[in-house]
Amino acid sequence: MKPARILATAMIVTVLWATCTSALDNGLAQTPPMGWNSWNAYELKINEELIRSAADFMVSSGMKDAGYQYVIVDAGWKSENRAANGRLVADAKKFPSGMKALADSIHAKGLKFGIYTDAGTGDCDSGAPGSKGYESQDAATFAAWGVDLVKVDWCNSEGLNAKEVYTRMSRAILATRRPMVLSVCEWGDNQPWLWAGEIAHMWRTTGDDKGCWDCGRETMNKPGGYPRGWTLILDAQSALQGYAGPGRWNDPDMLQVGNAGMNLEESRAQFSLWSILAAPLIAGNDLHTMPPEIAGILLNKEVIAVDQDPKGIQGNRVKKEGEREIWARPLRDGSQAVVLFNRGEYSSEITLQWRDLNWKDTKVATVRDLWAHQDWGAMRDAYTANVPSHGVKMIRVTPAHL
């Protein structure tokens, strides 16, 4: 083939690749993304020192070794105005070294770098410029900086068609040829589980988790209302399990584990249940002051292994008796991860029967406790545990014949 023809063929292949493939096909997020995001702990009060040291803590605390990869800078990093050529620029006071230098330092620690923008005309809360109309330029800028994950919010989006604008950003990301995770953050307004799997790797299913037990109950069904407490967000996930799988994940929002408003039992419960949901595990606590008992939750490798199970089947609630619930998730090896969840004010016994797991012929199964890290051995028909108020027991149940 003549060089000109080779070039023309290569160009056609590139164009076809960019238009035919979806973000789904770029091989990322085969298991739910894991990382840390600045928003829940710091909101807009971020700067490069703080992000760098959070990345250091991710390494020194053992989070990196446990699988947490992405260091995500949420809203608050942008300058108020774009440059004369339209390029996004970082706030020079908060990020004087610029985002490329920050990305380089995060990569040097063996971690990945995530960044925030908005699909509309302006970011949430900060009012900095959004990416509407600048999708290609912004994606190219992010790629040039070495970004590995882009979270795209939904403020100031009046009149926009969500599927269209997020598809535009997805194509723009693909066109850069840099593999980047696309994290859609449109709060479930336009049922993203129906369309975002084709163009993105994860999509928020609800409004923000405010780190409270069940706040927002009174207003959640009013126009513009959202569930705010994490147990209400949990309830909103139970019809969505069919939409998740490798490369495409429902996102019930970042973890509030370790933040004010969550006691230890509640932090452990959220972490366990998010793992049953195959949710992205994005920590949102202040890593600088993380006490050992919170590190002990975020670093529980047996629970993380449930979240990261390679088959990628999202779990669901299988039983509810008043405030006592059972959530279960089938795993690749034929076992199931099970959470016994007590929403009540007092500790309570909860019984799981093997038939709750759809195992009609299973009489004997072995039980491993994923928080006590102990095998309880073979049991016939059922397992009963005393579960603390607002707490969980999490076990892995394996039929004896496996």
Q: Is the CA virtual torsion 255, 253, 21, 4 positive or negative?
A: negative
Burial (CB < 10 A; 0-12, 13-18, 19+), residue 377, is: exposed
- Member of 125, 235, 265, 323 binding ligand GLA (CB under 6 A): 125
**Could you confirm whether 208 is annotated as catalytic?**
yes
What is the rounded CA–CA span in Å between residue 24 and residue 10?
22
| Residue of 74, 208, 253, 309 marked catalytic | 208
Contacts from 266-270 at CB under 8 Å and sequence distance 24+? 266/213, 266/230, 266/390, 266/391, 267/294, 267/297, 268/297, 268/371, 268/391, 268/392, 269/339, 269/341, 269/390, 269/391, 269/392, 270/230
Please work out the total of residues on this chain that contact ligand GLA, with binding judged by CB under 6 A: 8
- Member of 48, 74, 138, 266 binding ligand GLA (CB under 6 A): 74
- Member of 24, 31, 35, 39 binding ligand GLA (CB under 6 A): 39
Which residue, 182 or 331, is less far from ligand GLA as judged by CB?
182
Which residue, 190 or 366, is less far from ligand GLA as judged by CB?
190
Identify residues 224-243 at the interface with ligand GLA (CB under 6 A).
none
Task: Name the amino acid, one letter, at 265.
Answer: E
Left, alpha or beta for 353 (phi > 0: left; psi -120 to 50: alpha)?
beta
Closest distance between ligand GLA and the C-beta of residue 220, in Å? 15
What is the rounded CA–CA span in Å between residue 273 and residue 209?
14
Closest distance between ligand GLA and the C-beta of residue 50, in Å? 16
Which residue, 251 or 325, is less far from ligand GLA as judged by CB?
251
- Member of 24, 51, 111, 124 binding ligand GLA (CB under 6 A): 124
Structure tokens belonging to residue 20: 């035919």
35 close to 70: Cβ distance less than 8 angstroms: yes
Residue 75 binds ligand GLA (CB under 6 A): yes
Residue 153 binds ligand GLA (CB under 6 A): yes
25 Cβ partners below 8 Å, 6+ apart? 247
Residue 325 binds ligand GLA (CB under 6 A): no
249 close to 243: Cβ distance less than 8 angstroms: no
Helices 48-60/98-108 angle, 10° precision: 10
Closest distance between ligand GLA and the C-beta of residue 52, in Å? 20
220 close to 231: Cβ distance less than 8 angstroms: no
Structure tokens belonging to residue 322: 């008043």
What is the rounded CA–CA span in Å between residue 71 and residue 38?
8
* Residues making up the chain, counted from first to last: 402
Closest distance between ligand GLA and the C-beta of residue 208, in Å? 5
Residue 214 binds ligand GLA (CB under 6 A): no
What is the rounded CA–CA span in Å between residue 374 and residue 370?
7
Instruction: Locate all alpha helices (DSSP H) within 109-227, ordered by sequence.
Output: 135-145, 162-176
Which residue, 185 or 387, is less far from ligand GLA as judged by CB?
185
Closest distance between ligand GLA and the C-beta of residue 166, in Å? 14
CA angle 286, 248, 294 (to 5 degrees): 20
| Residue of 148, 153, 251, 286 marked catalytic | 153
Which residue, 173 or 185, is less far from ligand GLA as judged by CB?
185
Which residue, 132 or 317, is less far from ligand GLA as judged by CB?
132
Closest distance between ligand GLA and the C-beta of residue 60, in Å? 26
Which residue, 75 or 278, is less far from ligand GLA as judged by CB?
75
**Could you confirm whether 153 is annotated as catalytic?**
yes
Residue 303 binds ligand GLA (CB under 6 A): no
From residue 63, alpha-carbon distances to 109, 110, 283, 309 in Å are 12, 12, 10, 18
Q: Mark 171-210 with x for binding to ligand GLA (rule: CB under 6 A) and - for no binding.
A: --------------x----------------------x--
Active site residues: 153, 208
Q: Rule CB under 6 A: which residues touch ligand GLA?
A: 39, 74-75, 124-125, 153, 185, 208
